[in-house]
Amino acid sequence: MNLLHLGWNSFLDEAYQEMKKEGLEPARVKQEHRGSYEVSSEQMTYMAALSGKFRFESDSREDLPAVGDWVLIAPQENQRAVIHYVLPRKSKFSRKAAGNTTEEQIIATNIDTVFLVNALNQDFNIGRIERYLVMAWESGANPVIVLSKADLAKSIEEKVEALEGIAIGVPIHVVSSATDTGINELTSYLSIGTTTALLGSSGAGKSTLINKLYGTDVQTVQDIREGDGKGRHTTTSRELIVLESGGVLIDTPGMRELQLWEASDMSHSFHDIESLAEGCHFRDCKHNGEPGCAVEEAIQVGELELRRFRNYQKFQRELSFLERQTNKKAQLEEKKKWKKLAGDRTRQNRR
């Protein structure tokens, strides 16, 4: 398989030339399994494991390969390989790992476009789309909103209009896999050498959409629940799919828990609120009863939706809490490292 069809580009080629080592060849991670990875190179597809040195030098999950990563492998017999390095990432879509641990979970890497898939049925949720937008902009990829199941929906124009107000400049496509509505519009994002990740909750229609874009059934599809329009998990793990017509798709499991990991710049997703805040009388205005607050005035006159402002505040609180937890974790790890070094010195002195 040609590397270009796997998503190879000039950014990766430059990084590869700097890290090029005899006997190692580039391959892309297609799927992650427990303790191993399915990777494809220009030659073939391998089942690969991490080298001992790689595993030893990896400090966190972020250092380990993820679906979409380009790695340098040493091919072995019986279609086996050993992963020695991960090439620098052009982009990555991350969330906070589910549960109480403060740890990053990488969903997909080296993506050019993110299809934010949301069904137009009962599961349509503007707040969830706002959250996906924040994370998509932070990833370094370009977000595209895909509103699926148009054949099952009502008031489509109203929903599109509502999204246009919160996703300024972001393309919005209304599609139906059942009637092929809007499918051809999505192919313009799938040129050779590009990678597109599909993200959305269970039942949004990601797997069905991939089957349409691929041209045949490569993903299993399940029916949604009639009561609330929500679906069951069809895709259970992240998977990279190479299209015969060009381009790469990354399918992801439905994510009901989508906690932010980082958002250094909220201006893409909440440009309207941050622009209004510049007009507040006080530079450190909290928009909570201060005199001359332009944000609260905009809410009162109907220029800014209260729901959207509350969501913005929720994201800010979430990120502040995450920053505190991350700093606390870093301090504990630093303390643990110095304690270990002190113990090593004590043992050496006793010899």
Give the pLDDT confidence of 173-192 residue by residue, as tens digits.
999 999 999 999 999 999 99
* Percentage of residues of the chain with pLDDT beyond 90: 42
Q: How many CB atoms lie within 10 A of CB 181?
A: 15
Q: Answer yes or no: is 293 a known binding residue.
A: yes
Q: Answer yes or no: is 206 a known binding residue.
A: yes
Tell me if 259 is assigned to some domain.
Answer: no
Distance, in Å, from the CA atom of 36 to the CA atom of 65, rounded to the nearest integer, reads 10
Q: Which segment of 87-91, 142-146, 236-240 scores lowest on mean pLDDT?
A: 236-240
Q: Answer yes or no: is 200 a known binding residue.
A: yes
pLDDT at 61: 80
Q: Answer yes or no: is 60 a known binding residue.
A: no
Q: Answer yes or no: is 182 a known binding residue.
A: no
Q: 277: domain CATH number?
A: 1.10.40.50
Closest CA to 195 of 67, 83, 97: 67
**Confidence grade of residue 351 (pLDDT, cut at 50, 70, 90):** low
Same domain, 312 and 333: yes
List, in sequence order, every beta strand (DSSP E) within the chain. Answer: 25-33, 36-41, 45-50, 70-75, 80-86, 92-96, 104-109, 113-119, 142-148, 172-174, 195-199, 239-242, 248-251
Q: Answer yes or no: is 207 a known binding residue.
A: yes
- Mean per-residue pLDDT, 224-241: 59
Q: Answer yes or no: is 234 a known binding residue.
A: no
**Confidence grade of residue 270 (pLDDT, cut at 50, 70, 90):** confident
98 versus 49: which is more confidently predicted?
Answer: 49
Same domain, 246 and 108: yes
Tell me if 262 is assigned to some domain.
Answer: no
Q: Answer yes or no: is 205 a known binding residue.
A: yes
pLDDT at 214: 86
Q: Point out the domain boundary residue: 86, 117, 149.
A: 86
Distance, in Å, from the CA atom of 230 to the CA atom of 125, rounded to the nearest integer, reads 12
Same domain, 96 and 241: yes
Tell me if 211 is assigned to some domain.
Answer: yes
Q: Which domain holds residue 75?
A: 3-86
Same domain, 19 and 152: no
pLDDT at 231: 45
Convert 202-233 to b/e letters by CB count within 10 Å (16 or more is b).
bbbbbbbbbbbbbeeeebebeebeeeebbbee
Q: Answer yes or no: is 201 a known binding residue.
A: yes
Same domain, 332 and 228: no
Tell me if 256 is assigned to some domain.
Answer: no
Same domain, 63 and 153: no
Same domain, 237 and 309: no
Local structure of 86: helix, strand or coil: strand
End-to-end CA gap in the chain: 57
Q: What is the pLDDT of residues 86-98, one digit of tens each?
A: 999 999 888 766 5
Strand 239-242 and strand 195-199: the pairing is: unpaired
Q: Point out the domain boundary residue: 66, 86, 106.
A: 86
Distance, in Å, from the CA atom of 239 to the CA atom of 81, rounded to the nearest integer, reads 19
Tell me if 210 is assigned to some domain.
Answer: yes
Strand 113-119 and strand 142-148: the pairing is: parallel
Same domain, 63 and 170: no
Which pTM value belongs to this model? 0.76
Q: Answer yes or no: is 154 a known binding residue.
A: no
Same domain, 66 and 33: yes
Q: 212: domain CATH number?
A: 3.40.50.300
Q: Answer yes or no: is 202 a known binding residue.
A: yes
Distance, in Å, from the CA atom of 250 to the CA atom of 281, rounded to the nearest integer, reads 46
Tell me if 233 is assigned to some domain.
Answer: yes
Same domain, 290 and 347: yes
Token digits of residue 245: 């017509």
pLDDT at 99: 58
Same domain, 132 and 243: yes
Same domain, 124 and 244: yes
Q: Point out the domain boundary residue: 86, 111, 139.
A: 86
User: How many domains does the structure of the chain reveal?
Assistant: 3
Tell me if 277 is assigned to some domain.
Answer: yes
Q: Answer yes or no: is 23 a known binding residue.
A: no
132 versus 262: which is more confidently predicted?
Answer: 132
pLDDT at 60: 80
Q: Answer yes or no: is 178 a known binding residue.
A: no
pLDDT at 233: 45
The residue written with tokens 């399915």 in the block is 38
Tell me if 258 is assigned to some domain.
Answer: no
